[in-house]
Every structure is written in structure tokens, then in C-alpha cells.
Amino acid sequence: MIEARELTKTYRMGQDEATVVHALRGVSFDIGAGEFVAIMGASGSGKSTLMNILGCLDQPGTGSYRLAGENVETMTPDQLAAVRNRRIGFVFQQFNLLPRTSALENVELPLVYAGVGSRERRERAMDSLGRVGLAGRWAHTPSELSGGQQQRVAIARALVNRPELVLADEPTGALDTATSEEVMRLLGELHRQGMTVVLVTHEHDIAEWALRRMVFRDGEVIDDSRQPGRMHPQEASA
């Protein structure tokens, strides 16, 4: 699914042209279809820069990035936007829902941008809400939903275009412990259904849900290891 080779990214800070921050320093890795990967690291380690590149929100300074076989680093802004809409679902720490808009309409939004007709939009959005257990709350606005329900709406929105890859950037950062577990259980279920999930987090207990952990420090990968991942209680007792 993801092939990254020698990715670099540098930023010049302020007015001082001599001050250069190396956010990524020749990072290389592959992520296969259907993997569940947690990316960890302290603030400034490069993990957010990497996530922006993987999500086609930014491009590397040098190196190559292929997503599902497509060369991403040479694409135009319009081509990048098309890839984001077609292949990637995003989940963020802040839910980024339209406040005066129903859950259904929030989930429909990517389909509006994709030019999907109103009837198909509604059907696909309702199906996506059903996948996250919110079919009965489709008419509610974000203020009428709990934090966990709002994040579920955001996940439904990420799934509505049937992406191949879900990128989750600190998806539990604004949630309490019990609600965080609920959201992570949902992401784990999506992974079991065959979705590729890449998660950025600084929380070790959240990273434990993934089956692979990549740790960044100073723009480099210092650990890339497999881990058992968590299971539903029913699976654990099976």
C-alpha cells in the first residue's frame, strides 16, 4: 500500500535563513495492505510531517512515495486532491464537524466534493453511519452527540468514500479513557475487515492496539517492530 524511500523534509525557521530544521532524514519503509501501524514519537520527532506526506497534504523535499502503486511525490495539487478524495480517509484529534449540520450531512460532505448524486450520497452516508453504530443518530447535530459519538461520525465520514487507507492523527487526544477505548475498538474492527490503518499517537496504551509500531526521533525511525495488538474480549476468551 505504502512505499516510502529516503524521504526528507526540511523547514527554514523565521527570518534566519541559516536555521534549518530537518523534520525527516532519509526515512524508508513499506506498509502493506491491511496492516495496522502506530507511529509514535515526541513532539518534533517528524511523525506529523510524515503523516502529512502520507496523506498527500504535503510533499517530501527529496525521496519517493508510492501509494497503491502511484508515484505521489510528482503529482500536481489537483492530482493530490483527487488521491486524497479517492484513496484516503482522515480522522483527526479535533473532529472537524460542521456544527449546525446533521451527522448525515457531515458524512455526506466528501461525496459532495466527489460529485456524487444526492440519492447515492444519502445511501452511502447512512451505510457508513451504520458501520460505526450511529444509524439511529443521523439527524443529530454535533452538539447533540457525545465526544465519542462525534468521533464516530468523523470516522464514518472518513469511510464514506470507501478508501483503501485510513490515517488517524491522535484520534483519541480529545477523549476520556473509556471513550478512547471505544474508538480504538472501532478502528481495530475496521482493520479486521481489511482496512489499512495508520495511527499517529504519543500514548503507549493507544499504540498497543496496533500490530506494528514505528517510533520516530529527530526525523528518523529508531524502532520498527511487530507487537501482538489488542483483541476484543470475546476473541481473547476464544
pLDDT digits (tens, 9 = 90+) for 107-158: 999 898 888 999 999 999 999 999 899 999 999 999 999 999 999 999 999 9
pLDDT at 14: 67
pLDDT digits (tens, 9 = 90+) for 21-61: 889 999 999 999 999 999 999 888 999 899 999 999 888 99
pLDDT at 44: 85
Q: How far apart are CA 158 and CA 173, in angstroms?
A: 17
Kindly give the interhelix angle for 177-192 and 147-159, rounded to the nearest 10 degrees. 20
Contact 28, 202 (CB under 8 A): no
pTM of the predicted structure, to 2 decimals: 0.86
User: 103 CB contacts (<8 Å, ≥6 apart)?
Assistant: 129, 134, 137, 138, 139, 140, 141, 142, 145, 153, 156
